[in-house]
């Protein structure tokens, strides 16, 4: 075993394999049996695919329609390049980030991802313990597989609660009050899925999965994969315990901007809107009292816009005019991606799939390693470009080439 390992290590480092990064990755991945051995977040992607049943992998990995937006979320970053500055004393760096009076160790946010027990038995609790260990912000999904109270306990401090609006305000109020009572300080209301989405690729993965889904979770179609967002709500989800879910929609097609005021009237939590992509909506969000914005296209899982979220940040910044903080998520896989978002004016960047890959492969340790890898890459980008703190990452830190490479 150890000789096989040494051989793989030798091969991975061999100049013979230079120019064959994919082959090197395949070899090296045979060698990863501890989270700390992963070299970048993509190592965890391969491990997660191996670890998960096809239906669960499909639920996580896929987008909508022809997956153009999913791809655009990655490709969008190639439009921007870094502008390094030299002879700056970067021997001490400040990477901490403040949001609504709370300080976090870095500007990396764990985005809400539903049904995390489908990826690892520890689910959201594993993510919470990792967020605690690393000092990062976690946002918990309405579709969480553990109740908000348990997750806050595992985090050992406040988290944010992601809200699906439902189509019944009394129910929405119950969700919000429960989140607030448990100690959540902010609710992030997701607005990018008013009524359903087209999940053809995910459904193909489900068809390829020969297991009987009903043996693990009660609703083989709607519960785990939630393909009918905008449709039904599963009563088995902890946040819907004790709520009559008969005929209840998780989202609603009829909501308008006045929803924000209604929401603010029933909670003291800050209200952040998740799923905005335009200058116009950014300005309307501020006008209607939003406390923050998450620029997001749901990880390419909502509308097939063909636009990467990083490409939306500049116009959202223009609409906001510095009045409220902006977070952006979608396709963040490298420290340099985060650097570009901050340069464009975001306060923080969110990750979804990368920490779920880590969770799938190694539970809490995997999530911790994903955060460490991205922190380290961001640190190196800051060192290399002469930015001593997040504040020193400004529009002058990048070039917008105007088109994707």
Ligand X SMILES: Cc1cc2nc3c(=O)[nH]c(=O)nc-3n(C[C@H](O)[C@H](O)[C@H](O)COP(=O)(O)O)c2cc1C
Positions that interact with ligand X (CB under 6 A): 59-60, 73, 111-114, 141, 143, 162, 190, 274, 296, 298-299, 301, 329-332, 350-353
Closest CA to 349 of 37, 136, 148, 119: 136
Q: Closer to ligand X at the Cβ: 73 or 364?
A: 73
The closest residue (CB) to ligand X is 352
Minimum CB–partner distance for residue 190 and ligand X (Å): 4
Q: Is 59 helix (H, G, I), strand (E, B) or coil?
A: helix
Q: Closer to ligand X at the Cβ: 28 or 166?
A: 166
Minimum CB–partner distance for residue 89 and ligand X (Å): 33
Minimum CB–partner distance for residue 73 and ligand X (Å): 5
Q: Closer to ligand X at the Cβ: 35 or 118?
A: 118
Contacts of 39 (CB under 8 A, 6+ apart): 28, 373
H or E stretch at 295: strand 292-295
Closest CA to 366 of 123, 103, 22: 123
CA distances from 347 to 196, 327, 341, 344 (A): 30, 6, 8, 9
Q: Closer to ligand X at the Cβ: 27 or 163?
A: 163
Quick one: tokens of 144? Answer: 């969480």
- 54-61 vs 41-51: helix crossing angle, rounded to 10: 140
Q: Is 141 helix (H, G, I), strand (E, B) or coil?
A: coil
Count CB atoms within 10 A of the CB of residue 324: 18
Answer whether 299's CB lies under 8 Å from 70's CB. Answer: yes
Quick one: tokens of 244? Answer: 């009559």
H or E stretch at 103: strand 102-104
Minimum CB–partner distance for residue 12 and ligand X (Å): 27
Using the CB atoms, write b or e for 333-356: b if 16+ within 10 Å.
Answer: bbbbbbbbbbbbbbbbbbbbbbbb
Using the CB atoms, write b or e for 357-387: b if 16+ within 10 Å.
Answer: bbbbbbbbbbbbbbbbbbbebbeebbeebbb
Q: Closer to ligand X at the Cβ: 59 or 259?
A: 59
Minimum CB–partner distance for residue 221 and ligand X (Å): 16
Closest CA to 363 of 117, 152, 46, 150: 117
Minimum CB–partner distance for residue 162 and ligand X (Å): 5
Minimum CB–partner distance for residue 188 and ligand X (Å): 7
Task: Give me the active site residues, please.
Answer: 298
Q: Closer to ligand X at the Cβ: 114 or 363?
A: 114
Closest CA to 115 of 145, 138, 148: 145
Closest CA to 13 of 3, 27, 33: 27
Question: Would you list the DSSP string of 159-214?
Answer: -EEEEE--S-HHHHHHHHHHHHHHT--EEEEE-S-SS----HHHHHHHHH--S-GG
Minimum CB–partner distance for residue 224 and ligand X (Å): 10
């Amino acid at each position: 075993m150890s000789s096989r390992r040494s051989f793989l290590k030798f091969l991975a480092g061999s100049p013979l394999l230079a120019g064959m990064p994919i082959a090197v990755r395949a070899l090296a991945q045979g060698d990863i049996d501890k989270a700390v051995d992963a070299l970048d977040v993509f190592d965890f992607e391969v491990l997660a695919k191996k670890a998960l049943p096809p239906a669960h992998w499909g639920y996580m990995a896929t987008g909508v329609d022809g997956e153009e937006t999913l791809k655009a979320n990655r490709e969008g970053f190639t439009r921007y390049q870094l502008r390094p500055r030299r002879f700056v004393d970067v021997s001490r760096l400040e990477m901490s980030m403040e949001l609504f009076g709370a300080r976090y160790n870095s500007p990396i946010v764990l985005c809400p991802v539903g049904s995390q027990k489908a990826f690892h038995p520890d689910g959201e609790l594993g993510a919470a313990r990792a967020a605690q260990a690393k000092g990062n912000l976690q946002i918990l999904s309405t579709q969480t597989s553990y109740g908000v109270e348990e997750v806050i306990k595992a985090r050992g401090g406040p988290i944010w609660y992601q809200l699906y609006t439902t189509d019944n305000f009394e129910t929405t109020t119950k969700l919000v009050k429960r989140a607030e009572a448990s100690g959540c300080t902010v609710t992030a209301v997701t607005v990018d899925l008013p009524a359903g989405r087209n999940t053809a690729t995910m459904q193909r993965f489900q068809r390829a999965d020969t297991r009987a889904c009903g043996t693990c979770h009660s609703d083989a179609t709607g519960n785990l994969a939630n393909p009918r967002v905008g449709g039904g709500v599963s009563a088995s989800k902890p946040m819907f315990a004790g709520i009559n879910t008969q005929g209840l929609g998780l989202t609603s097609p009829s909501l308008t901007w006045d929803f924000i005021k209604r929401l603010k009237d029933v909670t003291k939590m800050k209200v952040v809107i998740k799923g905005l992509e335009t200058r116009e909506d950014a300005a309307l969000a501020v006008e209607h009292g939003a406390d923050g914005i998450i620029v997001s296209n749901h990880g390419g899982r909502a509308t097939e816009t063909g636009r990467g979220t990083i490409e939306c940040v500049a116009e959202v910044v223009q609409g906001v005019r510095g009045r409220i903080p902006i977070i952006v998520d979608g396709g963040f896989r490298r420290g340099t991606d985060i650097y570009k978002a901050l340069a464009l004016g975001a306060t923080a960047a969110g990750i979804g799939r990368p920490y779920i890959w880590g969770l799938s492969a190694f539970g809490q340790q995997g999530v911790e390693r994903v955060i460490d890898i991205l922190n380290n890459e961001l640190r190196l980008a800051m060192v290399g470009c002469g930015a001593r703190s997040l504040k020193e990452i400004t529009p002058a830190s990048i070039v917008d080439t105007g088109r994707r490479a």
